[in-house]
Amino acid sequence: MSAFARRHLGVLAVTCGLLATPALLPTAHADAPVTNRASLKQDLCYQVVTDRFADGNTSNDDPAKSPGMYDATKTNWKLYWGGDFAGIQQHLQYLKDLGVTAIWMSPHVDNIDKPAVYNGVPNAGYHGYWTRDFKRPEEHFGTLAEFDSLISAAHSMGIKVIMDWAPNHTSPADPANPSFAEGGALYDDGVLKGTAVNDTSGYFHHNGGISNYDDRYEVQYKNLADLADLDQQNGTVNSLLKTDANYWMSRGVDGIRMDAVKHMSSGWQRSFADNVLASKDAFLYGEWYLGSKTDPLYADNVRFANDSGISVLDFYLNIAMRETFGSGAPMSNLDAAIARTGTDYTYKENLVTFLDNHDMSRFLTLKNDTTALHDALAFMLTVRGTPCLYYGTEQYLHNDTSGGGDPWNRPQMPGFGETTTAFKEIQKLSALRQNQPALAWGTHQQRWINNDVYVYERRFNNDTVLVAINKSGAAYPIAGLNTALPAGSYTDQLGGLLGGQSITVGSGTGGNNPVTSFTLGGGQVAVWSYKGPEPSSPTIGSAAPTLTRAGNTITVEGRGFGTSGTLKVGGVTASVSSWGANRVTATVPSGTPAGIQQVTVTTSGGTSNGYALKVLSGAQVPVTFTVTNATPTNPGDNIYISGSIPELGSWSTDRNTAVGPLLTPNYPNWFGVASVPACTTFQYKFLKIAADGTATWENGANHTDTAPCSGTSATTVAWQY
Which of the residues are catalytic?
A: 259, 287
Q: Which residue has the closest beta carbon to ligand NOJ?
A: 129
By the rule CB under 6 A, 287 interacts with ligand NOJ:
yes
Among 359, 418, 534, 654, binds ligand NOJ (CB under 6 A): 359
Provide the 8-state DSSP code for 500. Answer: -
**For residues 576-635, which are near ligand NOJ according to CB under 6 A?**
none
User: Which CB, 648 or 707, lies closer to ligand NOJ?
Assistant: 648
By the rule CB under 6 A, 129 interacts with ligand NOJ:
yes
Write down the least CB distance from residue 407 to ligand NOJ, Å.
Answer: 10
**For residues 144-183, which are near ligand NOJ according to CB under 6 A?**
166
Write down the least CB distance from residue 350 to ligand NOJ, Å.
Answer: 19
Among 41, 160, 358, 433, binds ligand NOJ (CB under 6 A): 358
Quote the CA–CA distance of 369 and 364 in Å, as a whole number.
6
By the rule CB under 6 A, 204 interacts with ligand NOJ:
no
Measure the CA dihedral 713/714/715/718, to 10°: 170
Write down the least CB distance from residue 260 to ligand NOJ, Å.
Answer: 4
Half-sphere exposure of 357 (CA within 13 A, CB side): 20
User: Which CB, 56 or 107, lies closer to ligand NOJ?
Assistant: 107
User: Which CB, 356 or 452, lies closer to ligand NOJ?
Assistant: 356
Write down the least CB distance from residue 410 to ligand NOJ, Å.
Answer: 9
Supply φ then ψ for residue 634, to 5 degrees.
Answer: -125, 150
User: Which CB, 166 or 397, lies closer to ligand NOJ?
Assistant: 166
How long a stretch of residues is the chain?
721
Quote the CA–CA distance of 637 and 689 in Å, as a whole number.
6
Quote the CA–CA distance of 151 and 141 in Å, as a whole number.
14
Quote the CA–CA distance of 220 and 13 in Å, as a whole number.
42
172: nearest Cα among 242, 135, 118, 120: 118
Write down the least CB distance from residue 105 to ligand NOJ, Å.
Answer: 13
By the rule CB under 6 A, 651 interacts with ligand NOJ:
yes
Computed on alpha carbons and rounded to an integer, the radius of gyration of the chain in Å comes to 26
Write down the least CB distance from residue 357 to ligand NOJ, Å.
Answer: 7
User: Which CB, 103 or 331, lies closer to ligand NOJ?
Assistant: 103
The stretches of 232-324 forming alpha helices (DSSP H) are: 235-250, 266-279, 298-307, 315-321
Q: How many helices (H) and strands (E) does the chain have?
A: 15, 43
How crowded is residue 246: how many other Cβ atoms within 10 Å of its Cβ?
17
Distance from the first to the final alpha carbon of the chain: 74
700: nearest Cα among 714, 687, 682: 687
By the rule CB under 6 A, 685 interacts with ligand NOJ:
yes
Provide the 8-state DSSP code for 231. Answer: -
By the rule CB under 6 A, 408 interacts with ligand NOJ:
no
User: Which CB, 274 or 295, lies closer to ligand NOJ?
Assistant: 295
User: Which CB, 129 or 315, lies closer to ligand NOJ?
Assistant: 129
- Burial of 58 per CB tally in 10 Å (0-12, 13-18, 19+): exposed
Q: Could you give the string, one character per residue 230-259, with x where binding to ligand NOJ holds by CB under 6 A and - elsewhere? A: -----------------------------x
Write down the least CB distance from residue 685 to ligand NOJ, Å.
Answer: 5
Binding residues for ligand NOJ, rule CB under 6 A, total 13
Residues lying near ligand NOJ in the complex (CB under 6 A): 127, 129, 166, 224, 259-260, 287, 358-359, 651, 685, 697, 702
